């Protein structure tokens, strides 16, 4: 049956990048979560969830977003989380971590000179952090490739 | 649509881009301009505008417009490349409160150099380039496959299955 995977990202470029990674979880039981219901068409015929968005600029929305994401986690019961950011992906990884859920942070290709703010925090939360730029790789942040 | 389609991105306002292309629309009344203004405050007076289009309509606009103008965000860039459509971009600047850092300048430097991708320095440069690109769009972005390089997705698959 494969693993239960939750692929989660905010809107805009974060979600577009996530959808370019779909072959990674083909054949597994994937659920997809993002903010814009109209982007369901990219996700294909899989369980699709939306949550209220949050970023560092409107941090007071964290409780609402975290509540939505907690509900998604309870419903999807992932064994693995894959996220291309931003903050909501980090919240998902943090909420799921105590339950032994492993998580991969794929830092956005938009961060070509420094890791994103959430990406910098992701090392403390996620099982693995990867950058899409070889010159940003370190011993802890690996470079496996890029969406482009 | 056959005219100019402008998208400022959905996550944060970018009135400098909206205002510049609205001014450009005023100077080119014969050309249809539609701006997706996102969370901006400035409401165009000359161009048609919409807060946010559903993805399918957004993609259709990008595919069929004569010129695509956007912020220097990866959603816009990847949409343009996937559609094989040249894109003219104005990077958001942290100093103007347009984003939380200057990563769009970095994107312009590292990705904006690809064929078919054009980066404007400021509003005035944007308008000049918009006029020039509408007359001659130049080459299209090199086509890419629908998904990332299999070597990349295979490593993510190995992580999932480990």
DSSP string, B68-101: EEEES-HHHHHHHHHHT--EEEE---GGGTSSSS
The pLDDT score that the predictor gives to residue A29 is 98
Tell if the CB–CB gap between B55 and A36 is shorter than 8 Å.
yes
CATH number of the domain bearing residue B82 = 3.40.50.2000
Q: How confident is the model at residue B53 (pLDDT cuts 50, 70, 90)?
A: very high
What pTM, to 2 d.p., does this model score? Answer: 0.96
Q: Is residue B160's pLDDT more than 80?
A: yes
Report chain B's mean pLDDT, rounded to a whole number. 96
Q: Which domain holds residue B86?
A: 4-161
Residue B39 and residue A22: Cα distance in Å, rounded?
A: 29
Across B1-5, B47-51, B113-117, least confident range? B1-5
Tell if the CB–CB gap between A20 and B106 is shorter than 8 Å.
no
Structurally, how many domains does chain B consist of? Answer: 1
The pLDDT score that the predictor gives to residue B138 is 86
Q: Which residue of A has its CA nearest to B108?
A: A110
In chain A, what residues touch B152 (CB-CB under 8 Å)?
21, 144-147
How far lies A29's CA from each of A68, B1, B123, B160, in Å?
20, 39, 47, 11
Q: Is A130 helix (H, G, I), strand (E, B) or coil?
A: strand
CB-count burial class (<10 Å; 0-12, 13-18, 19+) for B146: exposed
Q: Is residue B1's pLDDT more than 70?
A: no
Residues B20-48: pLDDT tens digits? 999 999 999 999 999 999 999 999 999 99
Tell if the CB–CB gap between A17 and B74 is shorter than 8 Å.
yes
Tell if the CB–CB gap between A17 and B157 is shorter than 8 Å.
no
The pLDDT score that the predictor gives to residue B10 is 86
The pLDDT score that the predictor gives to residue B2 is 80
pLDDT (mean) for B112-116: 94
Residues of chain A with pLDDT under 50: none
Whether B110 and chain A come into contact, CB under 8 Å, resolves to yes
ipTM, 2 dp = 0.97
Whether B12 and chain A come into contact, CB under 8 Å, resolves to yes
Domains (ranges, CATH) in chain A?
4-143 (3.40.50.2000)
Buried-state track A49-88, b at ≥16 Cβ within 10 A, e below 16: bbbebbbeeeeeeeeebbebbeebbeebebbbbbbbbbbb
């Amino acid at each position: 049956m494969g693993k239960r995977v939750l692929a989660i990202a905010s809107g805009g470029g974060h979600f577009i990048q996530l959808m370019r990674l779909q072959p990674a979880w083909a054949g597994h039981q994937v659920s997809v979560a993002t903010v814009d219901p109209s982007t369901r068409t990219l996700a294909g015929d899989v369980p699709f969830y939306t949550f209220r968005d949050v970023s560092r600029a409107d941090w007071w929305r964290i409780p609402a977003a975290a509540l939505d994401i907690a509900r998604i986690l309870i419903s999807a019961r992932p064994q693995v989380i894959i996220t291309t950011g931003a903050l909501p992906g980090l919240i998902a990884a943090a909420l799921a971590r105590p339950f032994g859920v492993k998580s991969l942070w794929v830092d956005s290709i938009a961060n070509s000179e420094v890791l994103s703010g959430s990406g910098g925090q992701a090392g403390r939360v996620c099982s693995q952090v990867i950058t899409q730029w070889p010159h940003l790789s370190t011993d802890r942040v690996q470079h496996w490739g890029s969406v482009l | 649509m056959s005219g100019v389609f402008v998208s400022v991105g959905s996550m944060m306002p970018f009135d400098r881009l909206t205002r510049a292309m609205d001014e450009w629309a005023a100077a080119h009344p014969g050309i249809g301009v539609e701006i997706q203004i996102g969370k901006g405050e400035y409401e165009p007076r000359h161009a048609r505008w919409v807060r946010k289009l559903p993805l399918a309509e957004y993609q259709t606009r990008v595919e069929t417009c004569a010129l695509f103008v956007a912020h220097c965000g990866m959603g816009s860039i990847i949409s343009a490349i996937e559609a094989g459509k040249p894109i003219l971009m104005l990077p958001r600047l942290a100093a103007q409160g347009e984003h939380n850092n200057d990563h769009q300048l970095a994107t312009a430097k590292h990705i904006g150099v690809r064929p078919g991708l054009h980066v404007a320095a400021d509003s005035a440069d944007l308008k000049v380039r918009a006029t020039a690109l509408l007359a001659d769009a130049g080459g299209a972005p090199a086509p890419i496959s629908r998904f990332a390089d299999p070597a990349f997705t295979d490593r993510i698959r190995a992580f999932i299955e480990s």
